[in-house]
């Protein structure tokens, strides 16, 4: 049985969500505020977090940010705010999807089903492995010797890009276009900064500098 943490400060909505999800075959645990939600998340295993934005003590964005420091568990946000800025902020924290209140319960259940299918055992097939490093693009999780690495979204994308093509050299311009977009007008040295941070977290010299050209991870010896 998949377990879902429901974080919703309106008791009526929380009760409704618990009832529907239990009827659909899910295990549920609920919290009315952000502090309680984080305590529950630390003490139990959850397959998905259903997270309201407008919460007392710590709001949904704060809860999401703290969860993402330690886990890539799927997060589905509930919100009465349908503005683009709010949604972009959530996606910037690597949430999986949004549902805007008032929502259709069948649509919510389908979103949950699809997210859990994406992040389930079948997702293992898409994992990339390099030496003692495993990168899972479905769960957006990277592990080193079985230990989950605490990567930002950009660091994960950088790592995935390199591991996808061992031996290929990526210039700063290529990485900027791929990860920051062609309309990025900032300093290209932002790439160097992110790679420096990524190297520190890997504690390995996997990412090589190709002087005057760019970066790569070496092909593994056969």
Give the side-chain half-sphere CA count within 13 A for 9.
Answer: 15
Higher pLDDT, 90 or 202: 202
The predicted pLDDT at position 82 comes to: 61
Please check whether residues 22 and 44 belong to one and the same domain: yes
Could you give the C-alpha distances from 70 to 63, 67, 99, 113, 142, in angstroms and in order? 12, 6, 24, 23, 11
**Alpha carbon distance 186, 77 (integer Å):** 31
Q: How confident is the model at residue 1 (pLDDT cuts 50, 70, 90)?
A: confident
**Alpha carbon distance 144, 179 (integer Å):** 23
Please check whether residues 87 and 155 belong to one and the same domain: no
Please check whether residues 101 and 158 belong to one and the same domain: no
- Judged against a pLDDT cut of 80, whether residue 198 lies above it is answered with yes
Task: Give domain status of residue 222, yes or no.
Answer: no
CB 56 within 8 A of CB 33: yes
Number of domains in the chain: 2
Least-confidence region, from 41-50, 79-88, 122-131: 79-88
User: Of 94, 119, 144, which residue sits at a domain end?
Assistant: 119
Please check whether residues 103 and 154 belong to one and the same domain: no
Please check whether residues 78 and 138 belong to one and the same domain: no
User: Of 119, 138, 165, which residue sits at a domain end?
Assistant: 119
Please check whether residues 113 and 129 belong to one and the same domain: no
Please check whether residues 91 and 182 belong to one and the same domain: no
- Judged against a pLDDT cut of 90, whether residue 84 lies above it is answered with no
User: Of 119, 135, 152, which residue sits at a domain end?
Assistant: 119
The CATH number given to whatever domain includes residue 96 is 3.40.50.2300
Please check whether residues 56 and 162 belong to one and the same domain: no
Please check whether residues 45 and 16 belong to one and the same domain: yes
CA dihedral sign, ordered 136, 188, 202, 150? negative
DSSP SS3 for 118: helix
**Alpha carbon distance 142, 160 (integer Å):** 9
Domain that holds residue 82: 3-119
The CATH number given to whatever domain includes residue 200 is 1.10.10.10
> Length of the chain in residues, anyone?
222
Least-confidence region, from 19-28, 85-94, 111-120, 196-205: 85-94
Please check whether residues 100 and 129 belong to one and the same domain: no
The predicted pLDDT at position 23 comes to: 86
**Alpha carbon distance 121, 117 (integer Å):** 8
pLDDT (average), residues 167-185: 77
**Alpha carbon distance 75, 62 (integer Å):** 13
Mean pLDDT across the chain: 86
Task: Give domain status of residue 210, yes or no.
Answer: yes
């Amino acid at each position: 049985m998949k377990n879902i943490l429901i974080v919703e400060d309106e008791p009526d909505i929380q009760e409704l969500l618990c009832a529907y999800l239990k009827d659909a075959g899910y295990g549920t645990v609920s919290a009315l505020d952000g502090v309680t939600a984080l305590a529950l998340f630390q003490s139990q295993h959850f397959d998905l977090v259903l997270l309201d934005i407008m919460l007392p003590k710590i709001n949904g964005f704060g809860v999401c940010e703290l969860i993402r420091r330690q886990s890539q568990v799927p997060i589905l946000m509930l919100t009465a705010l349908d503005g683009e800025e709010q949604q972009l902020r959530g996606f910037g924290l690597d949430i999986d999807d949004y549902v805007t209140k008032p929502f259709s319960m069948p649509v919510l259940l389908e979103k949950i089903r699809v997210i859990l299918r994406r992040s389930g055992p079948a997702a293992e097939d898409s994992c990339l492995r390099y030496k003692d490093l495993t990168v899972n693009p479905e769960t957006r999780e990277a592990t080193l010797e079985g230990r989950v690495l605490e990567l930002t979204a950009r660091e994960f994308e950088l790592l995935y890009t390199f591991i996808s093509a061992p031996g290929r050299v990526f210039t700063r311009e290529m990485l900027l276009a791929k990860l920051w977009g062609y309309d990025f007008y900032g300093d290209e040295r932002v790439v160097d900064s992110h790679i420096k941070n990524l190297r520190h977290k890997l504690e390995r010299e996997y990412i090589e500098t190709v002087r005057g050209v760019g970066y790569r991870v070496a092909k593994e010896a056969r």
